[in-house]
Each structure stands twice: as structure tokens, then as C-alpha cells.
Amino acid sequence: LCRKALKPMGKDYLAALDEGFSNRWIDVYENEGKRSGAYSAGTVVHPYVLLNYTGTLDSQFTLAHEMGHAIHTYHSNKKQPHVYAGYRIFVAEVASTCNEVLLMRSLLEKCTDNRERKYLLNHFLEQFKGTLFRQTMFAEFEMQTHEALRNGEALGAQDICNIYRKLNEKYFGSDMVLDKQIEYEWARIPHFYTPFYVYQYATGFSAAIAIARSLIDGYKKGDDSAREGYFRFLSGGSSMHPIELLKLCGIDMTSPAPVEAALDVFEELLDEFENGI
């Protein structure tokens, strides 16, 4: 599924993907003592991916996501000197999320069963909720708590809980039933202990939605310009400012356009889901 979905990337990308599949880049299966979750770690030789593949749809998305990181690293290491090979956090989630979007678009395009299509649409909508909306809420939580500290306010645990609960009420609305325990969730989210990381999931997801659309359109039309721009991005490492790297793909993150375009896609998907396809 993953390989077929990534055809718009072209033969060079698929060759790197096959290299990873065939030459032990990936620690695939669950094992005693192996950590949960998934991640990609870059090395000079080649990237390594750790995941726990179980054959589910979620496993396919995890594989696509982590190989997006891996091939981003692979091309940056290949094209840049060591000092510039590592890419900045601002663009770190773009390549991985773009692969997930391409996989979802491929599945939706081929799906003919209404129940299956609703399942896929719900999965895609959950990605928007978890990545675009929820991570933005997380970022606002960080902004409010750090701003309070900068202003000399003393924040106890309950003060932080109150901030987090009010944000859940704001973002998810009055129809959502909020348990008392939701106000403690902030304490177990590891990203908050690496400040000002989470907003980049939302910006990266918005950029990835736009990039995936241009790659698919270019693939269908036989136009390689979007793919060529994307490969320049993948090969850029930290040789350029992240904003300038994304402009190679036609994405200007200094404007609201990418986020607004992603929200338009969300609205289209939600309308289709609510109207029963």
C-alpha cells in the first residue's frame, strides 16, 4: 500500500524506499524489551527506522510517516556536507506527514465501498483534529503558561490545570463532554518538556496537505515541476532557512494561505462525511 501510494514521488524516491525496505533500515516487529511507538534516526551510513508493525491500517500510516523522515534524512545526507545535513525542527514533520496524506489520498481514490470510505474519511478527519487543531491548542497552552511566567505570575499545578481545561472547552466546544481528568493531561505530554515544538506539527501538516495535492496533480498531468521542487526541499538539510526551503515547494508559510487551504480540505472532507458520501 505504502509504495503504491508514493508513486507521485517518482522513481528516485521509490528507489530509496526500496533500498530501505530491502536493506534492513527498518526494525519491523514487536519484540521483548523493545520500546513502543516509532521513530526514525539518521546516521551517515543510512537512516534507521524503529516501529512495531502489526499489519493494521495504522501500521501502514506509521510506516509511511517514518519512511518520510528516513528519506528526507537520506537525501539531505546525500546532498549536503555534514554541517548542513541535519534539518530544522520547523520542517521535520513535513516529509513524514506528506507521505501520510499521499497514502490517504490513494486509499480514498481506490475505495468503492461506502462503509470503508467513511472509515477512511473519519481517519483523515481525526488526523486534522489531532494534528492541526489539537497541536494548535497545545501551542496556545504553552504560550499562555510561558507568558504568565514572563509576567511574574506564580503558577501552581491547579493553575496550569485550569488553563488546560479552559482551552479544551474553547477548542472542542460546549457539546463535548469533558471529564474532570482532562485537566491533568498536560502533565503527561512529553512535548511540553521541549518547549515550543508542538506548533510545528500544525504548520507542517498544513504544508504537507498542499505539497501532496501539487504532487498528485503533477503526477496526473505528467508535470515534474512540483516533484523537482520537493526534491530540492528534501535535499536542502539546513542549508537554507526553513521558510525558504518550503518556498521551493511553492509553500509560503509567512502567509495564512497554507493553513487556510488545509482548513478548506477539512471542510470538504467533513461535508462529504456528514452527507453520507
Which residue among the candidates 66, 93, 100, 183 is catalytic per the annotation? 66
How far is it, in rounded angstroms, from Cα 158 to Cα 198?
22
Q: How far is CA 54 from the centre of its chain?
A: 21
How far is it, in rounded angstroms, from Cα 49 to Cα 39?
6
CA separation, residue 80 to residues 15, 74, 154, 253 (Å): 19, 10, 46, 24
* Contact predicate 111/122, CB 8 Å: no
For residue 200, report the phi and psi dihedrals to the nearest 5 degrees. Answer: -75, -20
* Contact predicate 29/53, CB 8 Å: yes
Q: 66 an active-site residue? A: yes
Residue 190 CB neighbours (<10 A): 7
Query: Regarding beta strands 39-41 and 48-50, do their DSSP bridges make them parallel or antiparallel, or are they unpaired?
Result: antiparallel
How far is it, in rounded angstroms, from Cα 148 to Cα 164?
13
SS (H, E, C) 8-37: HHCHHHHHHHHHHHHCCCEECCCCCCCCCC
How far is it, in rounded angstroms, from Cα 101 to Cα 50?
21
How far is it, in rounded angstroms, from Cα 140 to Cα 143?
5
Q: Which residues are catalytic?
A: 66
